[in-house]
Chains A and B, each alone.
Chain A
């Protein structure tokens, strides 16, 4: 790579970088023609539960759901409702969620606040993969559920669940903060039903 001094205008980096990015995007686009089924094994009520494990589950799930840390994934409009939710009026910290992490390795939940384009998709996929297990995804807003108003567009991913498995869907464009809080409470309920055995069998 060659970089000249400050004097010269219009010095641009190698086009190879862009090409590689393009190849990645195309590969992901071809690979995600179908939506990923939701991880809803938790819906199956009362699998063979060991009593001891049940108690352990209760402790673990309580701990997990009481301090969910979201990762930064703010592509578009919904981000500002998420920020409003985090701010004083709605105060997401009542749910132990005020620490919005810039690093995916320290986060448990991804709140997908905004439209996802194919160009952005590999990055979101990568962030999700970098998150440590157990991890959850809340699809916030119409764009996250189905592509919303841009579903017909040439560059928009019709729903985050093409890329990553989604746990809770919140309709709205954008959802009001109250709706987001409701969705978070739903996720809490979901986590409360999870079992350590299922995770082991994943």
Chain B
């Protein structure tokens, strides 16, 4: 206390007494005393999710108080949910707008900014973007993949003129494996001026894009078009070349090595008799078919597994002469990892899928394979969240087949002599962000690190690898480039009438099983423009800088929260976060004083009424929460 300075003993004593007297009893320590507050409490604070908010101003319209103020600063700052959903981060709304304007070549330029395989992705991508599409809140998501396909079909190559080639850096990079990850890395590193050599063990580049995806989904010449663009950059792709050791490559003068071997080793079914003739694994089967080798498929084919590869194998088997193709899966359709569209297509082609069935033994009887199966039932969920199948006792039965294809998964086949650390699941261990391995100058990515994944994820891994390899080689690590021309200012789409998505025309099921011709056909321009115009332009939505609720006026009725189509707004429940900002409130109050009293609040005024949409959909948000 300051009384020390005075030096009077009496005051000092008084001070101590005071200090004790001023000590507050514990019970008065608000907010340490916490009451049980219900989880639906409409507390004193608004939680606003900037990422989700599109500035559609529905909340402003719903507010009876007019106490919501949104400050916007021009469009196009927010990353749209679809772009966030895309592993490669393509600016999806931008290319949809380009298509809607009737400029598909600009759309390709936008896509090319992030991925070097637009043609491939336009056909086989599993579109994680579409699951994030906000249009689903109104009717159905936009067919983003089909739009990409349409754009590449009408590409004029405008982007090539805008691409800038960097001067050679004199660094050499070796890439092992010419799959999507390896070729993406090669593409970007070549763009940055490095000399890139790609080593491929198989006769054709493309990896799983070539050897895993059947022709009816991705014709080989389309894949070649994309790879040719990479070759055109001066990337040296050496096929039929197997790399023995990474160290040898480094000795040969390569400054960095990127290992992208993929996952080509089909997993064994693991039952008795799996080595019988006529039993094969899916990766081998698809690869042999792609290589053009004659593969003998009997009339009755069983596919064991429920992944995408299993569906591909089943549909390929059907085209190679299988009359009765049966897929056996040990869980139910809900748990099937295969893309639902593919499953539907397979069912259309009269492929039978038996659920909750697991094989237990294979035996050969007079030229036919007897597959002993057992019925399963779903038990408690395992660590992956899927319910674990359990066999039902006494439910064994036997089916007869000519060919059995096991498609229960693939894993990387990493040769020991490569000299890289291999972890659980036979994958190479690499750092998550930089993809660097323990060996200096050696990077690894793609399926051989993550386990079997999708093309777009491999491309994303390739982009990460290119960034970190460039940084390692002394570059900036910036691989993005501007290929599309800048857009004119536009507004977000806030009024949407209910509409269905457009499905591309397909060859009929009876026709398509006859051969390997591509199933899906391209859209007409009119259809593509209509579909692309359905985009809500979430990125363009007013970029909301600040979301202010005048708590001096707010009555916490919750109508804004209820009306928000994107769940970007919540009424907070955390009382410790509650702010009673005195000064700000006073300022807000001054604004109130200036309100024009002749106008009633709310939006029932005739001039504002005109601007209201005819139909605002109310969302059943409880359904979503569950």
B125 to chain A, nearest CB (A): 49
Which of B31, B554, B595, B597 is close to A178, meaning CB atoms less than 8 Å apart?
A: B31
Which of B18, B43, B555, B597 is close to A148, meaning CB atoms less than 8 Å apart?
A: B555
A55 CB-CB contact with B under 8 Å: yes
B588 CB-CB contact with A under 8 Å: yes
Quick check: which of B21-29, B223-231, B251-259, B536-544 contacts chain A, the rest being far away? B21-29
* Contact A151 B595, beta carbon cutoff 8 Å: yes
Shortest Cβ distance from A184 into B: residue: B30
Interface set, chain B 1-58, CB cutoff 8 A to A? 2-3, 5-6, 11, 14-15, 18, 21-22, 25, 27-28, 30-31, 35, 37, 41, 43-44
B495 CB-CB contact with A under 8 Å: no
B contact residues around A58 at 8 Å (CB) = 18, 22
Which of A90, A145, A181, A186 is close to B589, meaning CB atoms less than 8 Å apart?
A: A145
A112 CB-CB contact with B under 8 Å: no
* Contact B586 A38, beta carbon cutoff 8 Å: yes
B10 to chain A, nearest CB (A): 12
CA–CA, A158 and B599, complex, Å: 15
B575 CB-CB contact with A under 8 Å: yes
Which of B28, B44, B551, B553 is close to A151, meaning CB atoms less than 8 Å apart?
A: B553
Quick check: which of A23-31, A127-135, A167-175 contacts chain B, the rest being far away? A167-175
A80 CB-CB contact with B under 8 Å: no
Which of A148, A158, A168 is close to B580, meaning CB atoms less than 8 Å apart?
A: A168
* Contact B22 A171, beta carbon cutoff 8 Å: no
CA–CA, A145 and B14, complex, Å: 42
CA–CA, A116 and B64, complex, Å: 20
* Contact A149 B65, beta carbon cutoff 8 Å: yes
CA–CA, A92 and B311, complex, Å: 69
Interface set, chain A 150-171, CB cutoff 8 A to B? 151-152, 158-159, 161, 168-171
Q: What does the 1/0 interface line of B558-593 toward A look like (CB < 8 Å)?
A: 000000000000000001001010100110111011
- What is the number of residues of chain A that contact chain B, defined by CB distance less than 8 Å? 38
A68 to chain B, nearest CB (A): 13
* Contact B27 A94, beta carbon cutoff 8 Å: yes
Which of B14, B550, B556, B600 is close to A152, meaning CB atoms less than 8 Å apart?
A: B600
B515 CB-CB contact with A under 8 Å: no
Shortest Cβ distance from A166 into B: residue: B586
B336 to chain A, nearest CB (A): 48
CA–CA, A90 and B554, complex, Å: 24
CA–CA, A173 and B554, complex, Å: 7
* Contact A147 B592, beta carbon cutoff 8 Å: yes
* Contact B2 A51, beta carbon cutoff 8 Å: yes
Which of B6, B551, B586 is close to A51, meaning CB atoms less than 8 Å apart?
A: B6
| Contacts A/B (CB < 8 Å), 14 sampled | A35-B590, A55-B15, A62-B21, A94-B28, A145-B589, A152-B597, A159-B589, A159-B593, A169-B585, A171-B44, A171-B580, A179-B578, A181-B30, A182-B31
- Residue positions of A touching B, CB distance < 8 A: 34-35, 38, 51, 54-55, 58-59, 62, 90, 94-95, 142, 145-149, 151-152, 158-159, 161, 168-173, 175-176, 178-179, 181-183, 185-186
- Which 10 pairs show the lowest CB-CB distances between chains A and B? A173-B555, A171-B551, A145-B552, A146-B552, A146-B592, A149-B555, A152-B601, A169-B585, A181-B30, A51-B2
